[in-house]
Amino acid sequence: MTKTRIAAVDVGNDSIKAIFGELEHELNIPNIVARDTEDRPVIGVEELNDKNPLDGIHIKVHSPALKENNAVYRVGHLATKSSNATELDPGSSKSEEDQTLVMLFTTLALDAVREENANIFPRAKNVVDANYTLGTGLPLREVKEGKDVGYRSKLVGSVHQVEFLVTPKYQGLKVNIKFNEVKVYPEGFAAYINLVMDNNLKIINKDLIDKRILIQDIGGLSTDIAVIKNRNVDDDKAQGFNLGVSESLESIREEIRSKHGVELDSRRDVVEIITRKNDRNHIMVKGSRTSVHDITDRILLELAKKQYRLLRNVWQKNSQTEICYFVGGGSNVLKEYIKTLNNGLDGYNIEFFEDEKESIWMMANAYYKLITDFVMKTEKQKAVKEPVKS
């Protein structure tokens, strides 16, 4: 019998978060791809094998699920350096974009090719046959429109192949991905599950389970507010907004460049500067420690105000709400600003997560809980149906 491996994958607009197997492997890859017109671009192949595969993901994807089959892509960090890189457009539908699938397949392939998995997935020459039991999600809006059904059937119906081209360590390997099962959960609901249940889906938060709660997920490009009532997501009340934190991080980077002449490599560097424990909001300019607090404060406060307005709006429409949880990387960045605003204004009962990882990995953790629970239940059913022959 073919072995299957559990994968819980959150395809965020900003980055993919994935958890595998028995929690022994995880991946976080920026959601950014660039099309390559040729199979062999000029990449410094010389020291290829000293490099981290994640810094040089260069692949060709064969899959009937794609609108553009057999295309070549640079993915993640490598794509950042390309001029034609694309990030997901906030107005688009995750379930209908090739980029979502390319990122998903790439992530699974990167797990499948690891030497540690050679005993699970058979290898013949340079081909790995991988089989996954996948838990993933789509924005509530798309699930409401029924797009999860088509998305799921695109995945389960066929074999998807990722071919590693000029990728460190894995060059020349091909991974055939099949799915044993795919579950597509609505994002807001998943966050709720993660809040109230542990890894065995035992209730860990009795107080919370029957409350009316809001979950405001501030991501890279979008903000979703889920409304939970009667242990369920209220589909009609949930709202999505095309407002994330990436744009503000980019403005901060831009202003630091124009004011101090310092070029930060990425938005990630900005996050580091504004969230680190020591020397927060300071950079080095020509060797002198310099404050950029004026810049970060103004831009982040502006965004926090907008986020607070969204909260206020949704809370007004759901007046019996008892608490709102802020999750997502954006909440991590805006925490102090939103708290301060709230203290001076409406004084809503709001809560943030101390641990930034908990906030960012919320969805992936939830999918992991849901998919492992599903696997356990089906195994139990099988055991009942097919008792061990004596």
- The residues that touch Mg ion, with contacts defined as CB under 5 A, are 12, 219
Stretch that binds ligand ATP, among 233-241, 243-251, 276-284, 338-346 (CB under 6 A): 243-251
Minimum distance, C-beta of residue 297 to ligand ATP, in the bound complex (Å): 17
30 touches ligand ATP (CB under 6 A): no
Q: Does 318 interact with ligand ATP (rule: CB under 6 A)? A: no
Look up tokens 């805006």; give the residue: 334
Of Mg ion, ligand ATP, none, which one sits near residue 221, judging by CB under 5 to 8 A according to partner kind?
ligand ATP
With CB under 5 to 8 Å by kind, the binding choice for 356 among ligand ATP, Mg ion, none is ligand ATP
Output 181 or 250, the one with its CB closest to Mg ion.
250
Q: Closer to Mg ion at the Cβ: 341 or 362?
A: 362
In whole angstroms, the minimum distance from the beta carbon of 279 to Mg ion comes to 28
The correct pick among 7, 19, 226, 333 for binding ligand ATP (CB under 6 A) is 333
Site for ligand ATP in 170-229 (CB under 6 A): 217, 219-222
Closest residue to ligand ATP using C-beta atoms: 219
Which of residues 168 and 328 has its CB atom nearest to Mg ion in the complex? 328
Stretch that binds ligand ATP, among 110-118, 150-158, 225-233, 329-337 (CB under 6 A): 329-337
- Between residues 275 and 290, which has the closer beta carbon with respect to ligand ATP? 275
Instruction: State which of residues 249, 273, 292, 364 lies at the interface with ligand ATP (CB under 6 A).
Output: 249
Per rule CB under 6 A, is residue 141 in the interface with ligand ATP? no
Q: Residue 118: count other Cβ atoms within 10 Å of its Cβ.
A: 12
| 283 sits near ligand ATP (criterion: CB under 6 A) | no
Q: Which residue, 56 or 240, has its beta carbon nearer to ligand ATP?
A: 240
Is there a contact between 140 and 235 (Cβ–Cβ < 8 Å)?
yes
Q: How far lies 140's CA from each of 22, 190, 219, 237, in Å?
A: 28, 10, 14, 10
Between the CA of residue 38 and those of 77, 83, 165, what are the distances in Å? 19, 15, 11
Binding-site residue total for ligand ATP (CB under 6 A)?
24
Smallest gap from residue 316 Cβ to ligand ATP (A) = 24
For residue 347, the minimal CB distance to ligand ATP (Å) is: 26
Please write down the HEC assignment for all residues of the chain.
CCCCEEEEEEECCCEEEEEECCCCEEEEEECCEEEECCCCCCCCCCCHHHCCHHHCEEEEEECCCCCCCCEEEEECHHHHCCCCCECCCCCCCHHHCHHHHHHHHHHHHHHHCCHHHCCCCCEECCEEEEEEEEEEEECHHHHHCCHHHHHHHHHHCCCEEEEECCCCCCCCCEEEEEEEEEEEEEHHHHHHHHHHECCCCCECCHHHHCCCEEEEEECCCCEEEEEEECCEECCCCCEEECCCCHHHHHHHHHHHHHHHCCCCCCHHHHHHHHHCCCCCCEEEECCEEEECHHHHHHHHHHHHHHHHHHHHHHHHHCCCCCEEEEECHHHHHHHHHHHHHHHHCCCCCEECCCCHHHHHCHHHHHHHHHHHHHHHHHHHHHHHHCCCCC
Helices 267-275 and 246-260: angle between axes, nearest 10 degrees: 90
Query: Structure tokens of 375?
Result: 């696997």
User: Euclidean distance between the first and final Cα of the chain, in Å?
Assistant: 21
Examine residue 113 and tell whether it contacts ligand ATP (CB under 6 A).
no
Task: Work out whether 248 is an interface residue with ligand ATP (CB under 6 A).
Answer: no
In the set 330, 337, 370, 371, which binds ligand ATP (CB under 6 A)?
Answer: 330
Residue 100 in contact with ligand ATP, rule: CB under 6 A: no
Closer by beta carbon to ligand ATP, 135 or else 329: 329
Candidates 135, 186, 188, 329; binder of ligand ATP (CB under 6 A) is 329
Minimum CB–partner distance for residue 151 and ligand ATP (Å): 15
Least distance CB 228 / ligand ATP (angstroms): 18
Residues that bind ligand ATP in the complex, under the rule CB under 6 A: 12-15, 217, 219-222, 244-246, 249, 267-268, 271, 275, 328-330, 332-333, 356, 360
